[in-house]
Every structure is written in structure tokens, then in C-alpha cells.
Amino acid sequence: MKSPIVTLLVTASLLAACADRQPVAEAHHRKHFSPPAVEPPSFPDNSFNQKDAAVALAAGAAALNKGDLAAARKSTDNALALWPVAIEGWEQLSDICGRQNDEDCKHYADFYHAKLVVLNGLPMRTAALGFETVAGNKVGAKVDNFTYDQKTLDMANRLWAFCSTEDPANSKGPEPTEATFNETYPYAPALLVIGIGAGLLAGIKSIANK
């Protein structure tokens, strides 16, 4: 059985090792980075404007109420070009196309309305990847009961570019990561040293009193 002196010497060695240990680079399973995204299609800087889209959408709604379907459709198309994630815009376009008995247009509007409803609330990176997948199809390709035409693929590219632009991961700042334990609790090593030191002093007093 080890004597108290030996125990205290071992403890002192551990204390010295903790105090003298130099920080080293560490890999941590909680540090992760998103994979680089495929470069989206390029659009001019002024291609997306929510305020102008809202004005165009309101003009389309006003024309629709007056029964001017051609003007309503033109304004609504303009609104969706400016802000393609406006779910209410796709609903409005579907209504207009239905009144015009334009089934292709209605299917187009319903297709993107359904996509945006599903993606609503998800990260922009997820939405961008979804529209990138749609844009990768060829004209004439069929998915379920929907056939891709050039208009649908052009809008997929537009939505892909829009969502990539709005994705925080594509900002110029540093990639966000989760903190390691040492970063979350920076005083943990110091508390460990203090605890060992307190134990060492208690042991010395115990021996001195014997």
C-alpha cells in the first residue's frame, strides 16, 4: 500500500504536468463544415427585389379583380421574376391560368407552389440544392405527371440562384462551427488544476498533523 508521501508526490507531478501543458491543435467531431456548393447560375445584381415584387403582385391582383387576365398574368409573372419564392404569387398565377384555361401554365404554377410549400422554413442551402436538381433536368423529361419545359427549367435556375444568394453559408464571413468543450467551458483546465492543488494541500496538512 502506497504511503501518503508517495501519493502526494504523484499528485504533485500531475499538477505540474497540467500547469505546464502547452495548448495543441485538436480535431473535434463537433466541428464540421458544409461541403462547397456548386456554383449557381449568374444573374445581375438587381435581378431580385422584394419591394418591387410586392408592387407588381398587388397590380396583378388589382387587374385580376377587374377581370383583365392578360394584365394580371403579366404583372404576376413580373413579380415572380423579381421574388420567385413568393408563395402567394404562385397561388395567384395558378388562379389566373385556371381562369384562362391554360393547363400548362396552371401546372407550372402549381408545381412551384408545391415545391415552395414543402421547402418553406428549411435552410436556404436545402432549397438551393432542390432547385439545382430540378434545373439539371432536360426539356421533355417527366416526373410523375409533370413534363419539364424550358420555362420550368429557366425558373428552376432562377430559384437556384436566388436561394444560393440568400444562403448565409455563402456569406464572405467565416464558416460558423459548433464550439468544442474547451471553447464552451474555457475555465475547465484551470478548475482541474485548482482542484488538484487543494487536494495536495489537504494531504500535506493531514501528514503534518500526524
pLDDT along the chain (210 residues), means of 10: 52 51 42 57 91 98 98 98 97 98 97 95 91 95 90 96 85 45 38 45 48
Residue 101 and residue 91 in contact, taking contact as beta carbons nearer than 8 Å: no
Q: Domain for residue 60, yes or no?
A: yes
How far is it, in rounded angstroms, from Cα 5 to Cα 141? 82
Residue 205: what are its φ and ψ, rounded to 5°? -60, -35
Instruction: Assess contact for 108 and 96: CB atoms under 8 A.
Output: no
| DSSP secondary structure letter of residue 176 | P
- pLDDT tens-digit profile of 137-164? 999 999 888 899 999 999 999 999 999 9
The answer to whether the beta carbons of residues 73 and 96 sit under 8 Å apart is: yes
In a domain, 14, yes or no: no
**For the chain, how many structural domains are there in total?**
1
Which helix (H) or strand (E) element contains residue 156? helix 150-166
In a domain, 20, yes or no: no
Please, which residues bridge with residue 142 across strands? 147
With residue 64 as reference, give the H or E element that holds it.
Answer: helix 50-66
- Residue 97 is assigned to a structural domain of this protein: yes
* pLDDT value for 77: 98
Residue 81 forms part of a structural domain: yes
For residue 99, give its domain range: 50-170
Q: Is residue 45 part of a domain?
A: no
pLDDT at 30: 41
CA–CA distance, 126 with 42 (Å, rounded to integer): 19
- The CATH number that applies at residue 164 is 1.25.40
Q: Say if 119 falls within a structural domain.
A: yes
Q: Is residue 209 part of a domain?
A: no
Beta strands in 40-139 (DSSP E): none
